[in-house]
Amino acid sequence: MTSSAAPQHMVTRFAPSPTGRLHVGHGWSALLAHDMARASMGTFCLRIEDIDGTRSRPEHVEGIVEDLNWLGIGWDGDIIFQSQRLDRYNAALDRLREEDLLYPCFCTRADIQASMIAPHGPEGPVYPGACRTLDDAQRVRRMEAGEPHAWRIDVAAATARVGTLHWNALPFPLDAKAEPQPVLAAPTVHGDVVLARKDAPASYHLSCTLDDAAMAVSHVLRGDDLRGATDIHRLLQALLGLPSPVYIHHPLLVGADGRRLAKRDGSLALAELRESGVDPAALADALRAGRFPVGIRPASA
């Protein structure tokens, strides 16, 4: 064995949910992740996060492929579809259940909203924990009666098991000379998040964490809106013995009104720009240089 570690092969990914057409912000994010890998002879992967059967649409998968091709973004290997990886998510759920870290939650959205004591975390209302205190007999009775339920992680028990955690972050804008810095993970502020939904086989948190590890993703580059999710992903990595990538969070793009771009803003869709005759190479170069279409800017600038 030698004492010097071989440099890590860089693997980045773009992981859209096929719930609409990609907008300029998605294009920017995909370009950043793509270029980061290419600059270090690394691998860039495309993962379609399509386990939300109620919102994911095959035509949007086609749209994503079309939009990325148009922008000149090529990926390595086959496209990964989360809908084809449900066994892996179920195996991880079984493991966490066996370790007594999950509990069934029968609360409806209305129940949770009606709870006057529900505090708010960075990502909305924090689950007040009503179902955490049910005893085993109550849980079994309600599940056997076919009551719809999600599975939540007991975040206090989970964090007690793994102790204080950090994730490694690189700053944005990217700086080739910067070294990753540890950031304290704060999973408890999000409460007992759902890991398996009533209407979907797994939650984003679980599938994303498992897939980033399975795909050997070394650097996760994604929007600032998912900074809080990283707290939870770090906790899941520790519980499931998975490696932790380096995280880079980039600002979201906002429009002239200060509101962040969303898939509903059709006029900012890449497909719309294509139809209006925009040159994709010029657009990609502009985005790379941090120049955005008129009226659009990164949130923090």
Q: Scanning residues 215 to 274, which ones bind ligand GLU (CB under 6 A)?
A: 222, 226
Q: Please report which helix (H) or strand (E) contains residue 259, including its range.
A: none
Q: Looking at beta carbons only, is 19 or 115 nearer to ligand GLU?
A: 19
- Position 242: which residue type? L
Q: Looking at beta carbons only, is 190 or 222 nearer to ligand GLU?
A: 222
| Cross-sheet strand order for the sheet of 43-48 | 11-14, 43-48, 80-81
Q: Are 219 and 250 in contact (CB under 8 A)?
A: no
Count residues near ligand GLU (CB under 6 A): 7
The site map against ligand GLU for 161-200 (x = CB under 6 A) is ----------------------------------------
Q: How far is the CB of 170 from ligand GLU (least distance, A)?
A: 15
Structure tokens of 100? 């007594």
Q: Is 49 in the site for ligand GLU (CB under 6 A)?
A: yes
Q: Are 258 and 214 in contact (CB under 8 A)?
A: no
Q: Looking at beta carbons only, is 128 or 223 nearer to ligand GLU?
A: 223
Q: Looking at beta carbons only, is 118 or 196 nearer to ligand GLU?
A: 196
Q: Is 202 in the site for ligand GLU (CB under 6 A)?
A: no
Q: Looking at beta carbons only, is 143 or 214 nearer to ligand GLU?
A: 214
Q: Looking at beta carbons only, is 115 or 168 nearer to ligand GLU?
A: 168
Stretch that binds ligand GLU, among 9-17, 96-104, 158-166, 241-249 (CB under 6 A): 9-17
DSSP character at residue 155: H
Q: Looking at beta carbons only, is 15 or 196 nearer to ligand GLU?
A: 15
Question: Quick one: which of 16, 187, 228, 251 contacts ligand GLU (CB under 6 A)?
Answer: 16
CB-based burial of residue 160 (10 Å sphere; 0-12 exposed, 13-18 middle, 19+ buried)? exposed
Q: Scanning residues 98 to 117, which ones bind ligand GLU (CB under 6 A)?
A: none
Q: How far is the CB of 12 from ligand GLU (least distance, A)?
A: 10
Closest CA to 194 of 234, 229, 243: 229
Q: Please report which helix (H) or strand (E) contains residue 121, including its range.
A: strand 120-121
Determine the straight-line distance between the first and last CA of the chain, rounded to whole angstroms.
48
Question: Quick one: which of 32, 46, 131, 208 contacts ligand GLU (CB under 6 A)?
Answer: 208
- Residue 203 CA from chain centroid, whole number: 10
Q: How far apart are CA 187 and CA 165, in angstroms?
A: 9
Q: At which residue do the structure tokens 């998605």 appear?
A: 26
DSSP character at residue 254: E
The b-or-e profile of 73-108 (16+ CB within 10 A means b, else e) is: bebeeeebbbeebeebbeebbeebeeeebbbbbbbe
- Position 278: which residue type? V
Q: How far is the CB of 49 from ligand GLU (least distance, A)?
A: 4
Q: Is 15 in the site for ligand GLU (CB under 6 A)?
A: yes
Residues that bind ligand GLU (CB under 6 A): 15-17, 49, 208, 222, 226
